[in-house]
Amino acid sequence: MRAAVVQLLATPDVAAAQAAADRLVREAAAAGARLVLLPEKWSVLGRDDDVAAGAQPADGTAVTWARETAVELGIDLFAGSVALRREDGRQQNTALHVSPDGRLTAYGKLHLFDADVAGTRYRESDREVAGDGLVTTTLADDARTSVGMTVCYDLRFPELHRALAVRGARIITVPAAFTERTTQAHWEILLRARAIENGVFVLAANQHGEHAPGVRSGGRSMIVDPWGTVLAEAPDQDEAVVLADLDLDRVDAVREGLPVLRQRRADVAAALAGLPAGELAAAWDTAAPEASTAGGGTAPGVTGDASAAAGPGERA
């Protein structure tokens, strides 16, 4: 299967951003890509007021364009993410997958970017509403390949990617607008780690360039295989289409050789899943870890009822 990730520069000019996305998606499809991924907030990006002004309803031009284009080109179009405007006036950063028959799957970004980077404070939670669940979707290929959907800052939360892999994802999509600073320092490391940990292909489309004065994304859009090898990477420029052929049998080969998904400790996973929200760290007694015993028992340092039933499962 040929896949493409699109690198572009969105600004407060919504019409220009959509025109660029349309041109680059068509370029990818013409090169044989059957799966195409756009970056986070490809339809508008800039300062907070710019994004708010360019946010759209669920039946706005961005979603309408994505549905029409996927059907016309006969592709699985992962239309990055779009700032959708809710009736209460707040936004939700929503990733979209449109299949060739026009079926739409949406995922609300789970982890909002509230962080301080290089002297700049980001507080997405001031204006955005987080999603409320994991989402996998299915490609239109013969194997009905499962894809896990994420957005940008989600990349820093490995438990999300593990849950997607356990639920069957063989590909994980990462539309992003990683800051220039964090792209340089962390982007490739995190993408390769998520691929290696879960034996999945990772498709990552990042924005590149200056969206507004002082607001920059770092690019380096790439495709990573389940072994952690970078198959293709975008050059240092505002627009690029990056292509790679995905051998999905590679997922099975890597997972057979390194069977980490099979070897997960169910007791540890259950103990962690049984914790109240926000109490993940409490499962690990780092001050006084206990030695494991030959006769079994709980994992070193794990507290809680190991027999508990497992729960539901950036801009950086």
Catalytic residues, by residue number, are 40, 109, 152
Give the closest residue to 80 by CA, choosing from 30, 162, 20, 32. Answer: 20
- The vertex-126 CA angle with 120 and 130, nearest 5°, equals 110
Q: CA-CA distance, 220 to 241, in Å (whole number)?
A: 11
What are the residues whose beta carbons fall under 8 Å from the beta carbon of 253, sequence distance 6 or more? none
Taking the C-alpha atoms of residue 26 and residue 23, their distance in angstroms, rounded to an integer, is 5
Q: What are phi and psi of 267, to 5 degrees?
A: -70, -40
Sort residue 105 into left (φ over 0), alpha (ψ -120 to 50) or beta.
beta
Burial of 78 (0-12, 13-18, 19+ CB in 10 A): buried
d(C-alpha 63, C-alpha 264), whole Å? 39
DSSP state of 131: -
Q: What is the distance between the alpha carbons of residues 27 and 184, in angstroms, rounded to a whole number? A: 27
Scanning the structure block, which residue is given the tokens 């507004």?
Answer: 212
**DSSP secondary structure letters along 271-285:** HHHTSPTT-GGGGB-
